Amino acid sequence: MSLFVRKQLPIIIASILGILMILAYFTTFDIFAQFKGIATSWVVIVSAVTVAMGFVYMTNAQIKMYQMNKTPLQLAYTLTTYVFFGAFMIAGLAYKGDVNSPEYQWWFQNIYGNVSATIYAVMYFTLASSAYRTFVISSIESEALVLGGMIYTLRQIPLFQVYMPWIVPLGEWFLLVPNVGGSRGAVIAAAFAALVVGIRTLWGKEVTLEVSS
């Protein structure tokens, strides 16, 4: 297949679609709005269909992990992944109501819900222990970081709201004044960057689109 079909035509299609989306936004022609409605709903369908690629990549990763560490324990870990994958698929397909069935809910809430929630819980210890070492007042920037962090932390804890009532308006002030100043600046800067990357993408200049899969 020619280079035009393999590389350039997809970029041209991306550019045309992007420009049509922008025209739908900034013009009042109904045709563009209708096209935007169709295109955006199609994107949802494409996203839904491609999800099974994750299974392929997961299998690839599991094989690589086993190849790096060929032990019975690693094999057990890999098998665990597929056992639970199979169990959830069976629970989701075999019962009336599929993922809404009480059986699937049991699996989902007791296993997925608890493991995923606890992973976030473990992050508390990780964050707290790293803050113990690194959250020190060593420069003016770190002072600002600590001030913003600690004031807003104390503002969220009822104990300090009751026994240090001045922390409430101070914490809110930090959230709605200096935080807004910094965040808004970051939002605007990030928006400029996103605009530039977006325009480069539609222009066909964005290198990442040309990289082969």
Q: Within positions 193 to 212, which residues make up the interface with another protein, using CB under 8 A? A: 193-195, 198-199, 201-202, 209, 212
Among 64, 69, 192, 205, binds another protein (CB under 8 A): 192
| CA pair distance 92, 99, nearest whole angstrom | 5
> Of these, 66, 77, 95, 164, which contacts another protein (CB under 8 A)?
77
Least distance to another protein, CB of residue 28, Å = 12
Alpha carbon dihedral 106, 73, 51, 117, in 10-degree steps, equals 50
56-78 burial: b if 16+ Cβ within 10 Å, else e = eeeeeebeeeeeeeeeeeeeeeb
Q: Residues 149-157: contacts with CB within 8 Å, 24+ apart?
A: 152/179
Rounded to whole angstroms, the Cα distance separating 14 from 75 reads: 43
Shortest distance, CB of residue 196 to another protein, whole angstroms? Answer: 10
Our finding on whether 124 is near another protein (CB under 8 A) is yes
Cβ atoms of 156 and 172 closer than 8 Å: no
For another protein, which residue of 4, 28, 30, 41 counts as binding (CB under 8 A)?
41
User: What is the total residue count of the chain?
Assistant: 213
Task: Decide: is 164 part of the binding site for another protein (CB under 8 A).
Answer: no
Structure tokens at 160: 């300090």
Q: Which of residues 127-156 bind another protein (CB under 8 A)?
A: 127-129, 131-133, 135-138, 140-142, 144-150, 152-153, 156
Minimum CB–partner distance for residue 31 and another protein (Å): 13
| Contact flag: residue 84 with another protein (CB under 8 A) | yes
Q: Is 75 in the site for another protein (CB under 8 A)?
A: no
Q: Which of residues 165-184 bind another protein (CB under 8 A)?
A: 168, 172-184
* Token pair recorded at residue 78: 């890999």
Instruction: Please pick, from the candidates 29, 31, 55, 64, the single residue that binds another protein as defined by CB under 8 A.
Output: 55
